Amino acid sequence: MWYWLILAAVVWVVTFFLVPRERFVKLLPIGFVGGTLLAFVIQYLGVVVFKLWAFNNMLLPIMGIPLFLPIAYWAEVILFIHFLPDTLWGKTLYTLAFSAANTLVTYLMMSLGLQDFIAWSLLSTFIVAVVAHGIAIFLYPLMVERARVR
């Protein structure tokens, strides 16, 4: 039950240590939109609407979704965007690596009995992670770079 809270705490602590304070503050909005909100929408569609996967042993569930999962994605997107490379190839490889890490965390959660796939797979998880990180990359110049210019 505490695993979701521990996951969120670990991601936030790592982010606090690796992202400079001023940059961290600037990335909070994109982390919220591209992390928490997007993760909640994906989880809502997968859990509630299409019933593709389910979570077990949740602390503070919201519609069958562990509250601390979207909160963890807030920090994860801040970390992702902070270290985002400049080149297209760099962004591509980096996105694939982050998406693989997300898929590995999902596998770990399944191994611990915290998540079950109903009509889903790890490959599907990886593909959705690539798309979600692509959305964060798309949002970056709209939310962070444009705010810097103003």
Kindly report the three-state secondary structure assignment for every residue of the chain.
Answer: CCHHHHHHHHHHHHHHHHCCHHHHHHHHHHHHHHHHHHHHHHHHHHHHHCCCEEECCCCCEECCEECHHHHHHHHHHHHHHHCCCCCHHHHHHHHHHHHHHHHHHHHHHHHCCCEEECCCCHHHHHHHHHHHHHHHHHHHHHHHHHHHHC
Average pLDDT over all residues of the chain? 94
Q: Does position 11 have pLDDT exceeding 70, yes or no?
A: yes
For the residues 3-17, what does the mean pLDDT come to?
95
pLDDT at 150: 42
Confidence of residue 144 (pLDDT cuts 50, 70, 90): confident
Q: Does position 146 have pLDDT exceeding 80, yes or no?
A: no
Integer Cα distance of 143 and 135 in angstroms: 12
pLDDT at 147: 52
**pLDDT tens for each residue of 61-73:** 899 999 999 999 9
Q: Does position 57 have pLDDT exceeding 50, yes or no?
A: yes
For residue 44, the number of C-alpha atoms closer than 13 Å in the C-beta half-sphere is 9
**108: nearest Cα among 5, 7, 40:** 7
For the residues 89-113, what does the mean pLDDT come to?
96
Confidence of residue 2 (pLDDT cuts 50, 70, 90): confident
pLDDT at 145: 67
**pLDDT tens for each residue of 123-138:** 999 999 999 999 999 9
For the residues 85-107, what does the mean pLDDT come to?
97
Cβ-based neighbours of 59, under 8 Å, separated by 6 or more: 1, 2, 4, 5, 66, 67, 68
